[in-house]
Amino acid sequence: MNSAGESNGTRVLLVYYSYTGQTQKVLDAAADVLRERGCEVTLAPIEFVDPQYSEPFTRFPMRSVWPDMFSVYKAQGRGETGEIRTPDAVRDGRYDLVIFGSPTWWDTVSMPLRSFLESGDAKALLDGTPYAVVTVCRRLWRGNLEAVRELADKQGGRFADSIHFEYPGGQLTSLLSLASYLGSGEYKERYLGVKIPTTNISAGQVDQARSFAGRLADRLFGGR
C-alpha cells in the first residue's frame, strides 16, 4: 500500500529459487518497497523436487558439501531442467512486472529457475510482460544474467532492468567461504587452513535491493 493506504492496482510477482535464503533476503527487501509504492506483491518460491538432483538441497547444511555441490555440475553445464513445483500465483492471471531471483549455480542460472523459465507457465506469465532480474552469487553473475534474459525473452518477456549481488572475496576465497558455510551452516574465520571472508548477503546489499526496487517502481509505475 502507498502512504494513503491504497493500492494502485499494480500487480508484481517475484519468482525465485533460494536454497540458503540469500536470494529471498534481497527479494523480501524489494517487496517491502514495492508494497510501499502501492503495488500488490506476491512472492512465488520455486520448489526443487527432481528425484535425480534435488536430494542434496533438501537439507541445510549439506551432508557432504563438495560432492553435494558438484552433484549438479555436469547437468548445469548441459543446461538440463528438472522437476519443480510452483505456487498457484504464477498461474493467477496477468502481472504488471515479474522479478526473477536467480542464484548462480556453476556460472549460470540454477536448474530450478531454468526449469521454470522453459515451462508453459513461464510462457503464459511472460508473454508481453516486463521483467527484471536479481542475480545473487559469489563471483560469476554475468552468465547467470545472460541465461535468464535469453530464456525470458524467448518466452515473450520484455527486459526492464537488473541488479547483481556478489559475495566478498576473490574467486578462490569466496568459493572456500561458501563451501564452509554450506557444509556447516556457520560463519568461520578459516577453512582448510585458509583465512576466508564472510560470505552471503550484507546489510548494505539489502539496502541496494530496496533502492533498486524503488527506482524500478518509479520508472515503470510512477504515473500510477
Pairing of strands 97-105, 11-16: parallel
How many Cβ atoms sit within 10 Å of the Cβ of residue 22?
20
Give the integer Cα–Cα distance in Å for 90 and 203.
29
Is the pLDDT at 2 greater than 50? The verdict is: no
This prediction has a pTM of 0.94
Give per-residue pLDDT as tens, 147-192: 999 999 999 999 999 999 999 999 999 999 999 999 999 999 999 9
Number of Cβ within 10 Å of residue 52's Cβ equals 11
Fold for the domain defined by 11-168+201-219: Rossmann fold (3.40.50)
Contact 10, 97 (CB under 8 A): yes
* Per-residue model confidence as pLDDT tens digits over 34-61: 999 999 999 999 999 999 999 999 999 9
**pLDDT at site 4:** 43
* Grid cell listed for 139: 563471483
**CA-to-CA distance for 190 and 180, rounded, in angstroms?**
9
Residues contacting 203, CB < 8 A, separation 6+: none
Distance CA 159, CA 99 (A): 10
